Structure 1
């Protein structure tokens, strides 16, 4: 009997680590020291049973200390992609026949190993992507949650129909099953380089598909560590293939490949739209329409009315805007506040932001660097735009340090149509706008191309009821921050230009990686 024979109802979210205790603090410091000694190694591609080294490398560096090399990762090519596709296609023929409980067992065992090495994985996140300890710990915890949740969900799907019982017809036996799609491409982001990368990958795998993983260029080492973990638990060769590489030569080539059955993408709106467009074209030899599962960011916001708990709202605004330097698709990069309490909220937000210290993630500063030079330049350009669109209250400059450090920046009195209120910045920049009343505030919130997360602060049940119906986003939070969705409890995904509303961590998510097959036979 497999370890997944545990009751499906046992799923509980992985607890976060309390680093205020000496024991946990010392454990994390020990893990950071251990991982730091292992940096700089050369990392191959993993295709089937082969490790392939290439001359051209992706050099992953620490964004908080740009002189530190995290790893030198072999770079894929279109020729290597063809090889990976052939291996994945061959592996699919046997993997799709593996019983659901057996596939799920690999995830449960991987979760157990990841839990044992939690601080090591978190330390690599700190060093490769500039997360502070708490943000890295939450990333690792979410990955564990995805493993266990999707394992249990696959078993449930294999045993029950997502539909209501089929209408019975006398003399017939009708059954609905969910079968895998084929070979999929996973294109993962830098900002949750373990949770999202691993979550999207194992969701596809446990559903019976084989995959080619192309991680973000700025976070390929943590992805390789995940692949090594899956090999350690015995995942069959060819089920998971690791091919980092150029966005065009590898990424777009995979998207357009006639044997690609689906693409699971998390990243920017521009790239997501291009993938959607390129995937829609039927290539010579292609016999299906490719499925695209896309999460493409947001311009999320916090709405505060005059009945709200002002202190709680201010804390939520700051946490939503500046957690992981605002590099979350759920980040609350704008706040819309009713004018009668606007000055009070602005004052409290300004005070809280002034207390945020910027520094090295390894030393666990609240605010660290943005991910790379390209991101740094983009955020600084938006700050310059903001100086002409609003009143600068905090920050506005880069900070000292051998990395991509930017001061947490706040602009007040911003017009709802201003660029910093409309465009995703993906950095530590917050825009504050004033509304004449709570209804106008909600209207301003909805005035965006995106629809991922939102928050509404109020003590009026009538207004809250209205907000629940009228704030147009995939994840709406009442009297709490708009970041931090928990697997199983708060399925995550958004509307409009935020993507395809694929609810990661939800009870219908695995259906995206399967296709329904109805069988009907005459009873004897």
Structure 2
């Protein structure tokens, strides 16, 4: 069993901080060209997009080439051809590549991935460290370990026979579609199927091509054969429509919006008779994650969880707290401490290590979040009690914003925003059970949530009533920051297929089992004993 990669602190004067700052300066002072990578070859289409820093969007880090119909077909052919080579690798040989990738990432590649994530996705040093260094190396190592356990899991054999299970890769290719918010997810989605012997088409989010490119280079150095993962950034609608209609599609590994995932599933359904096999569909989508506080809650711990859970990485985590239910008899103390702590939050570039928050990812996201804030400002059912200011003159900056609503089903209590907005509803503590039911029924999602209480009876009630409200449920802790191997991550309802990334559950989706029985002493007469007469 591997150990989780230790998180470095980047304290003043530390070696890791000096190295990270050098890498940040190196990346800022160069503009690179990012090609497609198909069958190991760099492909340049001339149809270019830009990788910019969200906190200083006039600064271009790179230009990347976009895939079109021709390149998508090339990538499919490359993936199918690479299967012939990849099939020759034993599972031991495959796993060794990803174990090596984990060790490279945690040593010589650590500052590279962290700096790329900080600049390209506007993450502070700590958020980048727990993501692109620690979680991604954990994914590589834990997936390798769980893959080994799968291959070693064999059926019983009776005397005279030998039964064995052959864990085959899926017949065809896997399509990995990755989000902007976590480099670790971007690296895990194409590599988890690859560990199990599949070949992959990888379409990274257009706003996170920069760090994704360095992940591809890392995998190349680790020894991944050409064509096993084919890197095809570009417009999702164009690439997706081509890939999803191909008869060789064997699986989809997706993290992103619920609507996009539903559209992909619908497209698969419409093309189901065209495929050579039924595609495996694995997805983690949206969330409307909650904290329910009981009147017995520790106020200091509750406020810390609200602030960290809602505003770390600008609320752009699938698991970020975006709605809270607070009893009225502790609200005064909660509000007082929260307002005090929020005033200490600094916002700005991740290059300034004193900033707790940075920029949201792009103009589209900025406008969407701002529209929710304006809706709350103009509503008679809500008031903004902190923040609410937005500034996109240099970067896409939005203040941590707290909305207080009288309506428990207010728009910002139901809809996923994916930004630094927390909506609070105050309830009568005598209505604790009713409030738990309200929390369960308000949102279509079921990703993460938490209960804060010192009263064990209240915790038990919350666990039972909210049993389907969150695939990751936390007691007296923020509902973000799941660690590979410790809190398997994923949710159901509108939040996805709950196939728990970084576990055996997920890896089993990328294999098709063949059962083999070998009879050492086969029967030589068709007659059974029961057929004999007395």
Q: Name the TM-score, length of structure 2 as normaliser.
A: 0.92
Aligned to 2:365: 375
Q: Per-residue displacement from partner, 1:125-145 (whole Å, max 9, x unpaired)? A: 111011111111111210011
In the alignment, structure 1 residue 231 sits paired with structure 2 residue 215:
no
Correspondence for 1:137 among 129, 134, 137? 129
**Secondary structure of the equivalent of 1:415?**
coil
User: Which residue, out of 461, 474, 485, partners 2:482?
Assistant: 485
2:465 matched to 1:453? no
For residue 285 of structure 1, report the CA deviation from its aligned partner: 4.5
Residue 3 (structure 2) aligns with = 12
Equivalences, count? 509
1:120 equivalent to 2:109? Answer no
Residue 342 (structure 1) shift: 2.2
- Match of 2:227, SS state, is coil
Q: Do the aligned partners of residues 283 and 470 (structure 1) sit closer, same or farther apart at CA in structure 2, a change above 3 Å counting?
A: closer
Contact 2:255–2:285 (CA<8 Å) still a contact in 1? Answer: yes
Task: State the secondary structure of the residue aligned to 1:320.
Answer: helix
How far 1:290 sits from its partner (Å)? 1.3
1:502 and 2:491 matched: no
Deviations 1:41-67 (A, max 9, x none): 111111003211011112111100011
Distance change in 2, residues 1:268/1:414 (3 Å): farther
Deviation for aligned residue 1:25: 2.8
RMSD: 1.6
Aligned partner of 2:472 among 468, 472, 475:
475
Aligned with 2:252: secondary structure?
Answer: strand
Name the SS for the 2:175 alignment partner: strand
**In the alignment, structure 1 residue 245 sits paired with structure 2 residue 238:** no
Q: Secondary structure at the match of 1:173?
A: strand
| 1:417 corresponds to 2:409 | yes
Q: What does residue 433 of structure 1 align with?
A: 425
Find the residue that maps to 1:244 and give its secondary structure.
Answer: coil
| Partner of residue 186, structure 1 | 176
* Structure 1 residue 158, shift from structure 2 partner: 1.1
TM-fit CA distance, 1:169? 5.0
Q: Structure 2 residue aligned with 1:264, among 230, 237, 253?
A: 253
Determine if the alignment matches structure 1 residue 442 to structure 2 residue 431. no
Choose the corresponding residue for 1:355, options 344, 348, 353. Answer: 344
CA offset at residue 178 of structure 1?
A: 2.1
Rg comparison, structure with higher value:
2
Report what 1:337 is aligned to. Answer: 326
Displacement of 1:431 in angstroms is: 0.1
Greater Cα offset, 146-155 or 337-346: 337-346
Describe the shift of the 1:413–1:33 C-alpha distance in structure 2 as closer, same or farther (beyond 3 A).
same
Distance 1:473 1:440 in 2: 18
- Where does the alignment leave 5 or more consecutive residues of structure 2 unmatched? 522-534
The alpha-carbon distance between structure 1 residues 304 and 224, as it changes in their structure 2 partners (threshold 3 A), is same
Q: Is the deviation greater in 436-445 or in 324-333?
A: 436-445
Whether the 8 Å CA contact 1:175–1:518 is kept in 2: the answer is yes
For 1:252 and 1:285, how far apart are their aligned partners in 2? 14
- State the TM-score, normalizing by the size of structure 1: 0.94
The answer on 1:69 being equivalent to 2:66 is no
Is 1:307 aligned with 2:304? no
CA contact (8 A) 1:132 1:366 kept: yes
Pair 1:176 & 2:188 matched: no
CA contact (8 A) 1:490 1:505 kept: no
Q: Deviation string for 1:238-273 (max 9, x for gaps)?
A: 101000111121123212222111111100111111
> Which deviates more from structure 2 when the two are superposed, residues 261-270 or residues 353-362?
353-362
Cross-structure match for 1:523: 520
Tell whether the 8 Å contact from 2:173 to 2:251 is kept in structure 1 after alignment.
yes
Aligned residue number for residue 529 of structure 2: none
2:63 is equivalent to residue 91 of structure 1: no
- Give unpaired runs (5+ residues) of structure 1: 1-8
Distance 1:354 1:237, change over 3 A: same
Measure the CA separation in 2 of the matches of 1:506 and 1:468: 23
Q: Select the residue among 187, 191, 198 that pairs with 1:198.
A: 187
Contact 1:280 1:290 in 2 (8 A): no
**CA drift at 1:384:** 1.1
- Determine the C-alpha separation between the residues in 2 that align with 1:466 and 1:179: 44
